[in-house]
Amino acid sequence: MSLEIYSNPEARIDRKERISDDLESFKQNLENNFENEEEKTKVFKALDLMLEVHLGQKDRADGMPYAKHPLEVAQKTLDITDEPSADLVVASLLHDSVEDKSDVLFAKRVNKKYPEKNYMFNVNDELKEKHKEIFKSFSFRELKDMFGEKVEYYVYNLTNHDFDSLIEDTKPNASKEEREILKNNLYKEHVEEIIQDPDLCLLKYADFSVNVDLRSLDKNSVKYKKLRRKYKSIIPVFIEQLKDIDENHSLYNKKDKLIANLKNVYEKQYLN
């Protein structure tokens, strides 16, 4: 028996069916954007891995399969990039893979490294929490082996740090409200840091611009209110960063449109 991460097969099939239109549309867009067969193969390989990783994940707060989100981010990357590279699209597809499902990537690596071994491995929440840093470390190695150093670099920097553990170590007696404020501030610092890199700015914008639109959520839900508090201070950060980019930046030709889109979301969803 190989090392397995168990998930409900019927649920996976159902989730894939529910995003089938988005999936087929995205595949066609890949065909249209990548003529080089090696690059095309690389991106489709990442798409298969994304589905393997995220179809086992529980649905989002809006009821949609989580795998829809990486598809949206990858499509956004294609939309805002004049000449999309395979590595950028691969990183878009896999940007949440280590943060959310490092246990799956860890299992894939173990199975490839020890194909003849007989493992009994049932990952529960307690085990994932105890060994999360080991799982992450091996997951990044797996992405590097599969897709190269650049993709590993992108996904590593897009992966949020373990803010909860950092807060627990530095301020263990903080209240729930204080922890949320501290966590949001740490997230803001992380975003401010990585978007100095033009490629990471593009990738993070693609992710953030999808996440920041909260219209699919119930305005009275805890999730909506929490995300609204989290993202409200980040929108101005992105706007100021985009204003300052020079003509060599990959987003330069579209910066006015991107800024306008962020301002529109901010005014309609975050100021009332």
Asked whether the predicted pLDDT for residue 204 surpasses 50, the reply is yes
Q: Say what the pLDDT of residue 165 is.
A: 87
Q: Say what the pLDDT of residue 115 is.
A: 75
Q: Say what the pLDDT of residue 235 is.
A: 97
Q: Say what the pLDDT of residue 1 is.
A: 43
- At 272, the pLDDT band (50, 70, 90 cuts) reads confident
Report, at the CATH architecture level, how domain 1-158 is classified: Orthogonal Bundle (1.10)
- Round to the nearest angstrom and report the end-to-end CA distance of the chain: 55
Mean pLDDT of 158-183: 91
Distance of alpha carbon 55 from alpha carbon 146, whole angstroms: 20
Q: Say what the pLDDT of residue 5 is.
A: 61
Phi and psi of 179, rounded to 5°?
-60, -40
Asked whether the predicted pLDDT for residue 19 surpasses 60, the reply is yes
- At 83, the pLDDT band (50, 70, 90 cuts) reads confident
The percentage of the chain sitting over the pLDDT mark of 70, rounded to a whole number, equals 94
Q: Say what the pLDDT of residue 34 is.
A: 95
Mean pLDDT of 55-82: 94
Alpha carbon dihedral 35, 39, 41, 42, in 10-degree steps, equals -160
pLDDT digits (tens, 9 = 90+) for 35-62: 999 999 999 999 999 999 999 999 998 9
- 213-237: burial string, b at 16+ Cβ within 10 Å, e else: ebeebeeeeeebeebeebbeebbee
Asked whether the predicted pLDDT for residue 228 surpasses 70, the reply is yes
Average pLDDT, the chain: 92
**In the chain, domain spans:** 1-158, 171-272
- At 84, the pLDDT band (50, 70, 90 cuts) reads confident
Secondary structure string (H, E, C) spanning the chain: CCCCCCCCHHHHHHHHHHCHHHHHHHHHHHHHHCCCHHHHHHHHHHHHHHHHHHCCCCCCCCCCCCCHHHHHHHHHHHHHCCCCCHHHHHHHHHCCHHHHHHHHHHHHHHHHHCCCCCCCCCCCHHHHHHCHHHHHHHHHHHHHHHHCHHHHHHHHHHCCCCHHHHHHHHCCCCCHHHHHHHHHHHHHHHHHHHCCCHHHHHHHHHHHHHHCCCCCCCCCCHHHHHHHHHHHCHHHHHHHHHHHCCCCCCCHHHHHHHHHHHHHHHHHHHCC
Asked whether the predicted pLDDT for residue 121 surpasses 60, the reply is no
Mean pLDDT of 117-140: 76
